[in-house]
């Protein structure tokens, strides 16, 4: 499956797209004003310890303090703790994401945070999740340094192999090779890019990462707190380090300066791919050339149509993402079960594609169309399992429930595409819907009736409403307004405010 990495560079924003079979499957965006900090290492100061939550807040010099769970503290330098992260010796190999995320289930067996950290204590931490919404960055004291073929874990004594290397014999070969090469007490994860590589390739990575870790430690000793002691590579360089597997044939960059920097970087650190970097110099924008802008726009929509005529609905909330599958215009040819199964199977491919493209993480609920036969459910579940194997982020899925629901989680360390590209609608305030003109009109009538009781001798009321509500009052509801005036013995003056929010109105008595 040949792949391309397409890089679009402007003065304020860099976008990197991974294309598989000519389709954009992953999109990374880095803006000058909002640069990601995942992978950065800081010298921080513990600002608050919360024993009740088993979490500490660490000042690392950013607007929001980083939050550090007790399970992310390498206080005892216990190598066995690393087993929690490795998933039986395998890592997620997710690009530009920290390999050491795990959930709260790993809290069992850890000590108490108040015994490990004290306020004012200085500590080395690494960002594992960018700030999201109102939350500050998630941090860990388990340091990981990604190289081309290896991820170096200087504080633990473990060796793991990427779960995306399918061949067991190759896994064993790489693991045995690394056990011989590594220094005592050092931990490594073999990345997917190492598949088929020899001892010399891994030893060069080990030497580079060891030198990098030594420089980080030396700088940390003299650095003030809080401060950054190591910054990860920029987006394009990270893309070449993390995305450039055997499937990727070329990296295409549309900016001369970034192209030259990329070539120089690769000649120094990744010489085997330096000749596969191309400069795009055509007049047509590079994302237009490859049809990416249309796909990105489509990825911001709530409804995604399937080729058969069915569709899926994607709703993202703060806590979870709900995905609903519908047959839509697809009616099938034979029986209902066959129609439903075909729609669900087609939806599986589109859902996995959209999860990767939109970078949707956290808890995900998929509502497949109800299937009667267990055989059909098994086919859909198996198809979902297979489709998720191409996903670089770690996923965990549960069996289809009796209600046709699939619960799954997907690793998240950066904002989703919609959160980067969109903002909350100031009109509906994120609800996605607003009150109808009729609903607002009846609210106006109720307010008029309340005010009429307080008018005294003054019997005039002024209503300022939005244009749609005013049109309704003058047309379809004009007879009721006349009836209201006679019943309450008042005069209602209606004013139209073309700047008024449809749900807002003002009812006041005339002085």
Bridge partners for 153 per DSSP: 187
Give the residue from 300, 236, 222 showing the smallest Cα distance to 95: 236
Give the residue from 296, 321, 293, 323 showing the smallest Cα distance to 311: 323
Mean pLDDT to the nearest integer, 132-147: 88
Amino acid 470: pLDDT: 93
Answer whether 322's CB lies under 8 Å from 367's CB.
yes
Under the banding of pLDDT at 50, 70 and 90, the label for residue 475 is: confident
pLDDT score of 142 more than 60:
yes
**Higher local confidence (pLDDT), 406 or 271:** 406
Amino acid 82: pLDDT: 41
Range list for CATH 2.40.50.140 in the chain: 41-231
CATH of domain 41-231: 2.40.50.140
pLDDT score of 17 more than 90:
yes
CA distance 498 to 213: 62
Fold of 3-32+240-293: Nucleotidyltransferase; domain 5 (3.30.420)
Is the bond preceding 289 in cis, omega lying within 30 degrees of 0? no
Under the banding of pLDDT at 50, 70 and 90, the label for residue 110 is: low
Range list for CATH 3.30.420.60 in the chain: 3-32+240-293
pLDDT score of 319 more than 90:
no
Fold of 437-509: Hypothetical Protein Ychn; Chain: A, (3.40.1260)
What is the DSSP secondary structure assignment for residue 132, as one 8-state letter?
Answer: B
pLDDT score of 196 more than 60:
yes
Under the banding of pLDDT at 50, 70 and 90, the label for residue 96 is: very low
Burial (CB count <10 Å: 0-12, 13-18, 19+), residue 307: exposed
What are the E-state strand segments in 346-451?
362-367, 395-397, 405-410
What percent of the residues of the chain are helix, what percent strand, and what percent coil, each to the nearest 5? 35, 25, 40
pLDDT score of 90 more than 60:
no
Amino acid 97: pLDDT: 38
CA distance 232 to 245: 20
Question: From residue 316, how far is each of 72, 137, 311 by CA, in Å?
Answer: 28, 21, 17
Under the banding of pLDDT at 50, 70 and 90, the label for residue 403 is: confident
Amino acid 246: pLDDT: 67
Range list for CATH 3.40.1260.20 in the chain: 437-509
Answer whether 310's CB lies under 8 Å from 352's CB.
no
Amino acid 166: pLDDT: 80
Average pLDDT taken over every residue of the chain: 85
Amino acid 57: pLDDT: 94
């Amino acid at each position: 499956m040949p792949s391309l990495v397409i890089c679009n560079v402007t003065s304020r924003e860099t976008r990197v797209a991974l294309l598989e079979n000519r389709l954009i499957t992953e999109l990374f965006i880095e803006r000058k004003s909002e640069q990601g900090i995942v992978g950065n290492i800081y010298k921080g100061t513990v600002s608050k310890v919360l024993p009740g939550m088993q979490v500490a807040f660490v000042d690392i010099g950013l607007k929001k303090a980083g939050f550090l769970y007790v399970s992310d503290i390498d206080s005892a330098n216990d190598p066995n703790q690393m087993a929690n992260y490795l998933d039986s010796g395998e890592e997620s190999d997710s690009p530009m994401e920290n390999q050491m995320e795990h959930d709260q289930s790993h809290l069992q067996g850890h000590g108490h945070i108040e015994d490990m950290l004290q306020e004012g204590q200085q500590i080395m931490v690494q960002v594992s999740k960018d700030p999201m919404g109102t939350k500050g960055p998630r941090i860990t004291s388990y340091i990981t340094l990604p190289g081309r073929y290896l991820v170096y874990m200087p504080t633990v004594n473990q060796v793991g192999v990427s779960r995306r290397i399918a061949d067991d014999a190759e896994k064993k070969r790489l693991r045995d090779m690394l056990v011989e090469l590594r220094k005592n007490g050092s931990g490594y994860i073999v990345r997917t890019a190492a598949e088929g590589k020899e001892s010399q390739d891994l030893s060069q990575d080990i030497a580079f990462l060891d030198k990098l870790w030594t420089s980080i430690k030396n700088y940390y000793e003299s650095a003030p707190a809080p401060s950054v002691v190591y910054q990860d590579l920029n987006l394009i360089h990270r893309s070449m380090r993390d995305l450039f597997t055997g499937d990727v044939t070329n990296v295409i960059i549309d900016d001369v300066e970034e192209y030259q920097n990329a070539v120089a970087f690769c000649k120094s650190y990744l010489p085997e791919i330096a000749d596969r970097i191309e400069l795009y110099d055509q007049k047509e924008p590079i994302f237009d050339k490859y049809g990416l802008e249309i796909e990105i726009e489509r990825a911001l929509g709530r409804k995604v149509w399937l080729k058969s005529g069915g569709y899926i609905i994607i709703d993202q909330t703060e806590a979870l993402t709900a995905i609903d599958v519908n047959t839509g215009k697809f009616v099938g040819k034979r029986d209902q079960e066959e129609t439903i199964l075909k729609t669900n199977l087609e939806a599986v491919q589109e859902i996995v594609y959209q999860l990767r493209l939109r970078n949707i993480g956290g808890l995900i609920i998929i509502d497949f169309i109800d299937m009667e036969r267990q055989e059909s459910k098994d086919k859909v579940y198996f198809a979902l399992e297979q489709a998720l194997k191409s996903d670089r982020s770690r996923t965990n899925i549960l069996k289809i429930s009796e209600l046709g629901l699939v619960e799954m989680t997907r690793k998240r360390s950066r904002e989703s595409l919609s959160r980067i590209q969109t903002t909350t609608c100031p009109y509906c305030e994120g609800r996605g819907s607003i009150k109808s003109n009729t609903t607002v009109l009846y609210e106006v009538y109720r307010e008029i009736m309340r005010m009429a009781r307080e008018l005294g001798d003054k019997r005039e009321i002024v209503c300022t409403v939005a244009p749609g509500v005013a049109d309704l009052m003058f047309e379809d509801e004009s007879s009721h307004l006349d009836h209201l005036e006679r019943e309450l013995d008042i005069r209602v003056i209606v004013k139209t405010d073309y700047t008024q929010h449809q749900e807002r109105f003002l009812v006041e008595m005339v002085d």
